[in-house]
Amino acid sequence: MVPADVDVLVQRLRPRSDKNRKIIFRSIAGFFDGEKELLTEGICEVAIHFASSRYASIAVASALDNMFKEHWKNLNLQFVDHDNASEVDEELRTQATSNKRVGGTLLKQRILREGKVLNGGILKVSSFVNHMVDVDLMDICGEDLAERLRDTMPNKVLTVEATGLIPALAVGRKLSIPVVFARKSRPITISESYQTMYQSKTKGQLSELIVSREYLNGGDRVLLIDDFLAGGSTCEALFKLANMAQARVVGLGVLIEKTKDGGRAFLSGYDVPVESLAKVTINDDNTLRVDDD
Protein backbone atom coordinates (compact mmCIF):
# COMPACT_ATOMS: atom_id res chain seq x y z
CA MET A 1 0.00 0.00 0.00
CA VAL A 2 1.28 3.49 -0.89
CA PRO A 3 1.32 6.01 2.00
CA ALA A 4 -1.32 8.71 1.61
CA ASP A 5 1.24 11.51 1.86
CA VAL A 6 3.34 10.40 -1.13
CA ASP A 7 1.69 12.84 -3.55
CA VAL A 8 2.05 15.68 -1.03
CA LEU A 9 5.75 14.91 -0.60
CA VAL A 10 6.35 14.76 -4.36
CA GLN A 11 4.53 18.07 -4.81
CA ARG A 12 6.81 19.70 -2.26
CA LEU A 13 9.98 18.27 -3.79
CA ARG A 14 9.10 19.06 -7.41
CA PRO A 15 9.81 22.84 -7.44
CA ARG A 16 13.24 22.42 -5.81
CA SER A 17 14.36 19.34 -7.76
CA ASP A 18 16.20 18.94 -11.05
CA LYS A 19 13.75 18.00 -13.80
CA ASN A 20 15.71 14.78 -14.45
CA ARG A 21 15.38 13.60 -10.85
CA LYS A 22 13.67 10.23 -10.62
CA ILE A 23 11.05 8.99 -8.19
CA ILE A 24 11.46 5.24 -7.62
CA PHE A 25 8.50 3.06 -6.67
CA ARG A 26 9.58 -0.35 -5.30
CA SER A 27 7.26 -3.25 -4.57
CA ILE A 28 7.89 -6.69 -3.08
CA ALA A 29 5.64 -9.69 -3.80
CA GLY A 30 5.73 -12.60 -1.37
CA PHE A 31 4.63 -16.24 -1.63
CA PHE A 32 4.64 -18.91 1.06
CA ASP A 33 2.95 -22.33 0.80
CA GLY A 34 3.97 -23.62 4.21
CA GLU A 35 7.31 -24.91 2.98
CA LYS A 36 8.72 -22.68 0.29
CA GLU A 37 9.11 -18.93 0.49
CA LEU A 38 9.55 -16.73 -2.60
CA LEU A 39 10.12 -12.97 -2.79
CA THR A 40 10.25 -10.96 -6.04
CA GLU A 41 10.79 -7.26 -6.67
CA GLY A 42 9.23 -4.74 -9.04
CA ILE A 43 10.56 -1.23 -9.70
CA CYS A 44 9.16 1.73 -11.60
CA GLU A 45 11.24 4.89 -12.13
CA VAL A 46 9.37 8.06 -13.11
CA ALA A 47 10.67 11.58 -13.73
CA ILE A 48 9.64 13.75 -10.78
CA HIS A 49 7.80 16.14 -13.11
CA PHE A 50 5.26 13.38 -13.86
CA ALA A 51 5.43 11.31 -10.67
CA SER A 52 2.32 10.45 -8.65
CA SER A 53 1.27 7.59 -6.40
CA ARG A 54 -0.65 5.81 -9.15
CA TYR A 55 2.66 4.73 -10.73
CA ALA A 56 3.12 2.43 -7.74
CA SER A 57 0.70 0.05 -9.44
CA ILE A 58 3.27 -0.50 -12.19
CA ALA A 59 5.86 -1.59 -9.62
CA VAL A 60 3.28 -3.93 -8.05
CA ALA A 61 2.41 -5.41 -11.46
CA SER A 62 6.11 -5.88 -12.23
CA ALA A 63 6.70 -7.67 -8.90
CA LEU A 64 3.74 -10.00 -9.52
CA ASP A 65 4.89 -10.63 -13.08
CA ASN A 66 8.32 -11.63 -11.79
CA MET A 67 6.62 -13.88 -9.22
CA PHE A 68 4.67 -15.68 -11.94
CA LYS A 69 7.82 -16.14 -14.00
CA GLU A 70 9.60 -17.73 -11.04
CA HIS A 71 6.69 -20.15 -10.60
CA TRP A 72 6.73 -21.00 -14.31
CA LYS A 73 10.45 -21.69 -14.13
CA ASN A 74 10.23 -23.76 -10.92
CA LEU A 75 7.36 -25.82 -12.31
CA ASN A 76 9.16 -26.23 -15.66
CA LEU A 77 6.14 -24.98 -17.60
CA GLN A 78 6.34 -24.37 -21.34
CA PHE A 79 4.05 -22.30 -23.51
CA VAL A 80 3.31 -22.71 -27.22
CA ASP A 81 2.42 -20.13 -29.89
CA HIS A 82 4.38 -17.42 -28.07
CA ASP A 83 7.74 -17.58 -29.79
CA ASN A 84 8.48 -13.93 -29.05
CA ALA A 85 7.35 -14.01 -25.40
CA SER A 86 10.79 -13.14 -24.02
CA GLU A 87 11.08 -10.17 -26.39
CA VAL A 88 7.61 -8.94 -25.37
CA ASP A 89 8.45 -9.31 -21.68
CA GLU A 90 11.66 -7.35 -22.11
CA GLU A 91 9.83 -4.61 -24.01
CA LEU A 92 7.16 -4.32 -21.33
CA ARG A 93 9.77 -4.11 -18.59
CA THR A 94 11.50 -1.30 -20.47
CA GLN A 95 8.22 0.50 -21.01
CA ALA A 96 7.16 0.10 -17.40
CA THR A 97 10.27 1.91 -16.17
CA SER A 98 10.03 4.79 -18.62
CA ASN A 99 7.36 7.45 -18.20
CA LYS A 100 7.66 8.14 -21.93
CA ARG A 101 6.27 4.69 -22.78
CA VAL A 102 3.76 3.84 -20.08
CA GLY A 103 0.73 5.44 -21.72
CA GLY A 104 1.27 3.70 -25.03
CA THR A 105 1.72 0.31 -23.37
CA LEU A 106 -1.46 0.59 -21.31
CA LEU A 107 -3.46 1.90 -24.26
CA LYS A 108 -2.36 -0.98 -26.51
CA GLN A 109 -3.33 -3.52 -23.87
CA ARG A 110 -6.76 -1.93 -23.50
CA ILE A 111 -7.34 -1.89 -27.27
CA LEU A 112 -6.52 -5.59 -27.46
CA ARG A 113 -8.95 -6.36 -24.63
CA GLU A 114 -11.88 -4.10 -25.50
CA GLY A 115 -11.43 -2.70 -29.02
CA LYS A 116 -13.99 -3.82 -31.59
CA VAL A 117 -13.87 -3.49 -35.38
CA LEU A 118 -17.14 -2.37 -36.98
CA ASN A 119 -18.19 -2.42 -40.62
CA GLY A 120 -16.18 -0.03 -42.75
CA GLY A 121 -13.01 -0.59 -40.77
CA ILE A 122 -14.11 1.65 -37.89
CA LEU A 123 -12.40 0.88 -34.58
CA LYS A 124 -14.77 1.15 -31.61
CA VAL A 125 -13.07 2.17 -28.36
CA SER A 126 -16.16 3.64 -26.75
CA SER A 127 -15.70 1.80 -23.45
CA PHE A 128 -12.55 3.71 -22.50
CA VAL A 129 -11.85 6.62 -24.92
CA ASN A 130 -14.74 8.35 -26.62
CA HIS A 131 -18.00 7.51 -24.86
CA MET A 132 -17.22 6.16 -21.41
CA VAL A 133 -13.81 7.61 -20.60
CA ASP A 134 -11.19 5.94 -18.42
CA VAL A 135 -9.90 9.20 -16.97
CA ASP A 136 -6.85 7.62 -15.30
CA LEU A 137 -5.77 5.99 -18.55
CA MET A 138 -6.30 9.20 -20.51
CA ASP A 139 -4.28 11.15 -17.95
CA ILE A 140 -1.36 8.74 -18.30
CA CYS A 141 -1.68 8.85 -22.11
CA GLY A 142 -1.60 12.64 -21.92
CA GLU A 143 1.63 12.48 -19.92
CA ASP A 144 3.10 10.15 -22.53
CA LEU A 145 2.22 12.42 -25.47
CA ALA A 146 3.36 15.51 -23.56
CA GLU A 147 6.74 13.95 -22.85
CA ARG A 148 7.22 12.80 -26.44
CA LEU A 149 6.42 16.26 -27.84
CA ARG A 150 7.72 18.53 -25.07
CA ASP A 151 10.83 19.48 -27.09
CA THR A 152 8.64 21.10 -29.78
CA MET A 153 8.07 23.91 -27.22
CA PRO A 154 4.39 24.64 -27.97
CA ASN A 155 2.48 27.43 -26.28
CA LYS A 156 -0.99 26.15 -27.23
CA VAL A 157 -2.72 22.86 -27.93
CA LEU A 158 -5.24 22.79 -30.79
CA THR A 159 -7.81 20.00 -31.12
CA VAL A 160 -11.36 19.22 -32.32
CA GLU A 161 -14.49 18.92 -30.24
CA ALA A 162 -15.54 16.63 -28.72
CA THR A 163 -13.39 13.50 -28.36
CA GLY A 164 -10.17 15.28 -29.30
CA LEU A 165 -10.58 17.25 -26.09
CA ILE A 166 -10.06 14.13 -23.97
CA PRO A 167 -6.34 13.64 -24.73
CA ALA A 168 -5.81 17.36 -25.45
CA LEU A 169 -6.79 18.45 -21.95
CA ALA A 170 -4.40 15.94 -20.40
CA VAL A 171 -1.55 17.12 -22.66
CA GLY A 172 -2.29 20.77 -22.00
CA ARG A 173 -2.33 20.18 -18.26
CA LYS A 174 1.03 18.36 -18.31
CA LEU A 175 2.66 21.05 -20.46
CA SER A 176 0.93 23.89 -18.56
CA ILE A 177 -0.39 25.47 -21.76
CA PRO A 178 -3.96 26.39 -22.82
CA VAL A 179 -6.10 24.16 -25.03
CA VAL A 180 -8.04 25.63 -27.97
CA PHE A 181 -10.67 23.42 -29.58
CA ALA A 182 -12.17 23.86 -33.02
CA ARG A 183 -15.97 23.88 -32.91
CA LYS A 184 -18.18 22.04 -35.38
CA SER A 185 -20.91 24.70 -35.25
CA ARG A 186 -20.79 28.44 -34.68
CA PRO A 187 -21.98 29.66 -31.27
CA ILE A 188 -23.36 33.19 -30.98
CA THR A 189 -20.30 34.14 -28.89
CA ILE A 190 -17.98 33.85 -31.92
CA SER A 191 -18.07 36.75 -34.36
CA GLU A 192 -14.72 36.75 -36.19
CA SER A 193 -13.33 33.32 -36.90
CA TYR A 194 -11.23 31.03 -39.05
CA GLN A 195 -13.17 28.20 -40.64
CA THR A 196 -12.53 25.26 -42.96
CA MET A 197 -14.17 21.98 -44.01
CA TYR A 198 -13.13 18.38 -43.56
CA GLN A 199 -14.45 14.94 -44.49
CA SER A 200 -15.65 12.96 -41.48
CA LYS A 201 -15.21 9.21 -42.02
CA THR A 202 -17.42 8.22 -39.09
CA LYS A 203 -20.23 10.55 -40.22
CA GLY A 204 -19.58 10.10 -43.94
CA GLN A 205 -20.09 13.80 -44.72
CA LEU A 206 -18.37 17.16 -44.90
CA SER A 207 -18.18 19.02 -41.61
CA GLU A 208 -17.13 22.53 -40.71
CA LEU A 209 -14.48 23.50 -38.16
CA ILE A 210 -14.43 26.97 -36.58
CA VAL A 211 -11.91 28.69 -34.32
CA SER A 212 -12.30 32.21 -32.95
CA ARG A 213 -9.66 34.69 -34.11
CA GLU A 214 -9.42 35.70 -30.46
CA TYR A 215 -7.71 32.48 -29.38
CA LEU A 216 -5.41 31.55 -32.27
CA ASN A 217 -2.79 34.13 -33.19
CA GLY A 218 0.22 34.74 -35.38
CA GLY A 219 3.38 33.63 -33.60
CA ASP A 220 1.65 30.84 -31.67
CA ARG A 221 3.49 27.51 -31.57
CA VAL A 222 0.66 25.03 -31.88
CA LEU A 223 0.65 21.36 -30.93
CA LEU A 224 -2.16 19.38 -32.60
CA ILE A 225 -3.73 16.63 -30.50
CA ASP A 226 -6.53 14.23 -31.46
CA ASP A 227 -7.86 10.83 -30.49
CA PHE A 228 -7.43 9.20 -33.93
CA LEU A 229 -5.25 9.59 -37.01
CA ALA A 230 -6.88 7.76 -39.92
CA GLY A 231 -6.92 9.33 -43.39
CA GLY A 232 -5.66 12.66 -42.05
CA SER A 233 -8.58 14.86 -43.12
CA THR A 234 -9.38 16.14 -39.62
CA CYS A 235 -5.75 16.86 -38.79
CA GLU A 236 -5.23 18.60 -42.12
CA ALA A 237 -8.18 20.87 -41.29
CA LEU A 238 -6.41 21.82 -38.04
CA PHE A 239 -3.24 22.58 -40.00
CA LYS A 240 -5.29 24.87 -42.26
CA LEU A 241 -6.84 26.72 -39.32
CA ALA A 242 -3.39 27.29 -37.81
CA ASN A 243 -2.05 28.52 -41.16
CA MET A 244 -4.97 30.95 -41.50
CA ALA A 245 -3.99 32.45 -38.16
CA GLN A 246 -0.30 32.53 -39.22
CA ALA A 247 0.45 30.24 -36.29
CA ARG A 248 3.12 27.57 -36.59
CA VAL A 249 2.22 23.90 -36.09
CA VAL A 250 5.16 22.28 -34.29
CA GLY A 251 3.90 18.73 -33.84
CA LEU A 252 1.02 16.27 -33.93
CA GLY A 253 0.11 13.71 -31.28
CA VAL A 254 -2.70 11.14 -31.36
CA LEU A 255 -3.83 8.29 -29.19
CA ILE A 256 -4.48 5.79 -31.99
CA GLU A 257 -3.14 5.68 -35.55
CA LYS A 258 -4.82 3.47 -38.16
CA THR A 259 -1.83 2.63 -40.30
CA LYS A 260 -3.63 1.34 -43.41
CA ASP A 261 -5.60 4.59 -43.80
CA GLY A 262 -2.42 6.47 -44.78
CA GLY A 263 -2.88 9.57 -42.64
CA ARG A 264 0.81 9.85 -41.71
CA ALA A 265 1.87 9.84 -45.37
CA PHE A 266 -0.95 12.25 -46.27
CA LEU A 267 0.33 14.79 -43.71
CA SER A 268 4.05 14.25 -44.38
CA GLY A 269 4.29 17.42 -46.46
CA TYR A 270 3.76 19.53 -43.33
CA ASP A 271 7.12 18.27 -42.03
CA VAL A 272 6.33 18.12 -38.31
CA PRO A 273 6.96 15.28 -35.82
CA VAL A 274 4.03 12.89 -35.53
CA GLU A 275 3.60 10.74 -32.42
CA SER A 276 0.97 8.05 -31.90
CA LEU A 277 0.66 5.96 -28.75
CA ALA A 278 -0.86 2.94 -30.49
CA LYS A 279 -0.58 1.95 -34.15
CA VAL A 280 -3.31 -0.44 -35.25
CA THR A 281 -3.91 -2.32 -38.49
CA ILE A 282 -7.42 -3.39 -39.45
CA ASN A 283 -7.25 -6.22 -41.95
CA ASP A 284 -9.66 -6.88 -44.81
CA ASP A 285 -11.44 -9.55 -42.73
CA ASN A 286 -12.02 -6.96 -39.96
CA THR A 287 -9.46 -8.53 -37.63
CA LEU A 288 -7.39 -6.15 -35.53
CA ARG A 289 -3.64 -6.05 -35.02
CA VAL A 290 -1.86 -3.71 -32.64
CA ASP A 291 1.54 -3.01 -34.16
CA ASP A 292 4.88 -2.86 -32.38
CA ASP A 293 6.58 0.55 -32.43
Please report the pLDDT score of residue 97 as a whole number. Answer: 44
Q: What tens digit of pLDDT does each residue of 135-157 get?
A: 999 999 999 999 999 999 999 99
Bond before 162 cis per omega within 30 degrees: yes
Instruction: Give the separation between CA 147 and CA 150, rounded to whole angstroms.
Output: 5
Instruction: Identify the residue with better confidence: 269 or 206.
Output: 269
Does pLDDT of 96 surpass 80?
no
Looking at residue 135, its amino acid is V
Looking at residue 113, its amino acid is R
Chain centre to alpha carbon of residue 243:
26
Does pLDDT of 94 surpass 60?
no
Does pLDDT of 261 surpass 70?
yes
Instruction: Give the separation between CA 253 and CA 273, rounded to whole angstroms.
Output: 8
Please report the pLDDT score of residue 8 as a whole number. Answer: 83
Does pLDDT of 221 surpass 70?
yes
Can you tell me the mean pLDDT for 192-220?
A: 87
The residue among 212, 225, 233 whose CA lies nearest residue 158 is 225
Q: What tens digit of pLDDT does each residue of 231-260 get?
A: 999 999 999 999 999 999 999 999 999 999
- The pLDDT mean for the chain works out to 86
Can you tell me the mean pLDDT for 85-101?
A: 51
User: For the chain, what percent of residues have pLDDT higher than 90?
Assistant: 54
Measured in degrees and rounded to the nearest 5, phi and psi for residue 291 equal -80, 150
Does pLDDT of 183 surpass 50?
yes
Please report the pLDDT score of residue 75 as a whole number. Answer: 67
Can you tell me the mean pLDDT for 108-112?
A: 94
**What's the predicted TM-score (pTM) here?**
0.66
Instruction: Give the separation between CA 79 and CA 85, rounded to whole angstroms.
Output: 9
In 35-152 the beta strands, taken as DSSP E runs, fall at 37-47, 116-118, 122-124
Residue 154 CB-half CA count within 13 A:
35
Phi-psi region of 271 (alpha: psi -120 to 50; beta: other; left: phi over 0): left
Does pLDDT of 98 surpass 60?
no
Does pLDDT of 80 surpass 50?
no
Please report the pLDDT score of residue 5 as a whole number. Answer: 77
Does pLDDT of 269 surpass 70?
yes
